[in-house]
């Protein structure tokens, strides 16, 4: 009898799971990518505070058994936009200690970008981290893959330096801050005119890099250019000062960001919370211990 009840519960869960996934998929409208896949389970959902162009912004996060999806919130959370999908195998989490203005936060590292998020409570923070780590561990075990080792750097906060970290010129209203996508240093416009492809961030687009990182990449890129020349392909990877850069909307948003120091997040900026909801029923809870960070 118990086994029959369990089977009924599981069938009910599978149906409800598909309905939930369709609801998330539809909430992103026609601009979102399809999320329904065989075997995919929606583990949990909720809002986290993520650092973005205008400072900390609440984002809707959806944890699936194989990917982490997030997006901007519109119409009181009924609809979402700017969908981002991150494979869990590509994620590494780093816990952060609480500070005076910094609570319940952690760092999400991926090959393309790394960013800070914060939960409304310590309990929710631990739930998010433990469930992400558990799903990631199961994926790596089932696929036989090794964890990734190449991640985008975390940008050094604007307020960490009043001067360019390459030429020491002082920042001002006209001397704006920028960031090198290779090292994460805070640099001025003159020291960040160069562009280069950083494969794990974007395989084709030329991204802003500082002069020093450009030099360090030059040897490798020159070798790649020679191979390209021998193959008859004219595409080049290193850009000059006059190169036009076609960045993604996310890159453009980051470029406009002036203050993204997570230690400056205030309670007043965390008014819009939605509790983390764990959607996996008791009969489908993991039987193994959660991987610790």
**Matching fold, domains 2-151+265-284 and 158-259:** no
Domain 2-151+265-284: assigned CATH number: 2.30.29.30
Q: Which residue has the tokens 């979102």?
A: 32
For residue 116, name the pLDDT band (cuts at 50, 70, 90): confident
Position 3 scores a pLDDT of: 64
Domain 158-259: assigned CATH number: 3.30.40.10
Q: pLDDT (tens digit, 9 = 90+) per residue, 186-239?
A: 889 999 999 988 777 777 888 899 988 888 887 666 766 676 667 765 444 444
**Global model pTM greater than 0.85:** no
94: DSSP letter: E
Burial class (CB in 10 A: 0-12, 13-18, 19+), 67: buried
Determine the average pLDDT of the residues in 168-194.
89
- The span from the CA of 194 to the CA of 171, in Å, is 19
Q: pLDDT (tens digit, 9 = 90+) per residue, 78-108?
A: 799 999 999 999 899 989 887 666 689 898 9
Domain boundaries, the chain: 2-151+265-284, 158-259
Position 248 scores a pLDDT of: 44
Q: What is the CA radius of gyration of the chain?
A: 22
Position 115 scores a pLDDT of: 86
Q: How many CB atoms lie within 10 A of CB 134?
A: 19
Q: Is the pLDDT of residue 71 over 90?
A: yes
- The span from the CA of 144 to the CA of 169, in Å, is 49
Q: 107: which 2 tokens?
A: 């760092």
Determine the average pLDDT of the residues in 269-291.
58
Q: 238: which 2 tokens?
A: 């290193």
Per the prediction, the chain carries an average pLDDT of 77
Q: Is the pLDDT of residue 16 over 80?
A: yes
CB 114 within 8 A of CB 250: no
Q: Is the pLDDT of residue 158 over 70?
A: yes
CA distances from 123 to 118, 259, 276 (A): 12, 28, 10
Q: 159: which 2 tokens?
A: 């307020």
Position 230 scores a pLDDT of: 72
Q: Given the DSSP bridges, would you call strands 92-95 and 277-278 parallel, antiparallel or unpaired? A: unpaired
Q: pLDDT (tens digit, 9 = 90+) per residue, 36-54?
A: 999 999 999 999 998 754 5
Smallest Cα–Cα separation from 73: which of 28, 118, 20? 28
């Amino acid at each position: 009898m118990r086994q029959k009840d369990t089977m009924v519960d599981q069938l009910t869960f599978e149906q409800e799971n598909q309905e939930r996934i369709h609801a998330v998929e539809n909430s992103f409208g026609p601009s979102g990518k399809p999320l329904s896949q065989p075997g995919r389970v929606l583990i949990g959902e909720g809002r986290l505070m993520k650092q973005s162009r205008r400072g900390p912004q609440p984002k809707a996060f959806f944890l699936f058994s194989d990917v982490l999806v997030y997006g901007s919130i519109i119409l009181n959370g009924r609809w979402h936009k700017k969908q981002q999908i991150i494979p869990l195998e590509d994620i590494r989490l780093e816990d952060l200690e609480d500070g005076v203005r910094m609570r319940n936060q952690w760092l999400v590292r991926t090959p393309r970008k790394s960013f800070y998020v914060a939960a409304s409570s310590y309990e929710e923070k631990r739930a998010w981290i433990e469930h992400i780590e558990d799903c990631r561990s199961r994926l790596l075990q089932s696929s036989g893959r090794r964890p990734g080792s190449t991640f985008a750097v975390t940008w050094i906060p604007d307020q960490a330096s009043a001067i360019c970290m390459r030429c020491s010129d002082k920042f001002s209203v006209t001397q704006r801050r920028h960031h090198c996508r290779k090292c994460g240093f805070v640099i001025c416009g003159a020291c960040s005119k160069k562009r280069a492809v950083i494969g794990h961030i974007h395989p084709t687009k030329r991204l802003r890099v500082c002069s020093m990182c450009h030099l360090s990449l030059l040897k490798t890129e020159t070798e790649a250019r020679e191979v390209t020349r021998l193959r008859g392909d004219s595409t080049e990877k290193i850009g000059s000062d006059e190169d036009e850069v076609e960045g993604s909307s996310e890159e453009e948003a980051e470029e406009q960001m002036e203050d993204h120091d997570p230690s400056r997040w205030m309670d007043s900026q965390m008014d819009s919370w939605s509790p983390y909801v764990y959607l996996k029923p008791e009969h489908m809870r993991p039987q193994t211990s959660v991987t610790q960070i």
